[in-house]
Amino acid sequence: MHYLEQIIQILFDPEYTTIALYDSPRLRESFFVVSAYALATSVDSFLAGYLRTEMLSVGLISFLVSTLTTYLLWVMLAMIFHIAADMLGGLGEFPNALGFVGLATAPLIFTSLISGVLTVVSVLAFPDDESGIIPNISLGLTLLGMAWGAPGVICYFGMKNAEKLHPLKAFVVTFILFVALAVLLLV
């Protein structure tokens, strides 16, 4: 129950949740949140791969690649945030960045679960959907999760509180990373 409370707290009060990350990065909770996100997004990838091709091997490969990508993205985003904060005068350490980026994946857990349901509905109910409306809804959900979580609002509070970066600098770094990842997702 403790971890579920942490997820709810980071979603609804990111300022309070990230204040203590400077003194204690809470890597265990971050790892749990990232693992929950990795599971949700990997199940979605498995369903998409398996249901679209009807090949179990494609689904399993999609699952494994998605899991690996999630953990690599966590570490890479934390490195980018920490290096940017360090260059701009932040006082935090790398574990602080790992902590807030990990916690910031909490909104993506829910968007991935909804995306998994949309994947099943898309394949089973609308197999010949030419307009691609359901995949576009899923993409919108992912962008919404990114805007709130990683690399969005929660990461802004993490930069401000865990890396002790000036709020304007934290906003600029967070905004640039969000736009870069959104463009990468859209292209």
> What does the pLDDT look like over 102-135, one tens digit per residue?
999 999 999 999 999 998 988 888 877 777 788 8
**pLDDT of amino acid 7:** 86
Task: Kindly report the pTM of this predicted structure.
Answer: 0.93
- Judge residue 160's burial from the number of C-beta atoms within 10 Å of its C-beta, 0-12 exposed, 13-18 middle, 19 or more buried: buried
The full DSSP string for the chain is: -HHHHHHHHHHH-HHHHHHTTTT---HHHHHHHHHHHHHHHHHHHHHHHHHHH--HHHHHHHHHHHHHHHHHHHHHHHHHHHHHHHHTT----HHHHHHHHHHTTHHHHHHHHHHHHHHHHHHHH-TT-SS-HHHHHHHHHHHHHHHHSTTSHHHHHHHHHTS---HHHHHHHHHHHHHHHHHHHH-
Q: How far apart are CA 174 and CA 170, in angstroms?
A: 6
Amino acid identity of residue 94, one-letter, is F
**pLDDT of amino acid 18:** 92
What does the pLDDT look like over 24-79, one tens digit per residue?
A: 988 999 999 999 999 999 999 999 999 888 899 999 999 999 999 999 999 999 99
> Band of the pLDDT at 5, cuts 50, 70, 90?
confident
Domain limits of the chain? Answer: 23-186
- Contacting residues for 180 by C-beta, under 8 A, at least 6 apart: none
| Mean pLDDT for the stretch of residues 151-180 | 96
pLDDT reading at 151 higher than 60: yes
**pLDDT of amino acid 143:** 96
| Mean pLDDT for the stretch of residues 127-148 | 87
Top pLDDT among 2 and 34 is at: 34
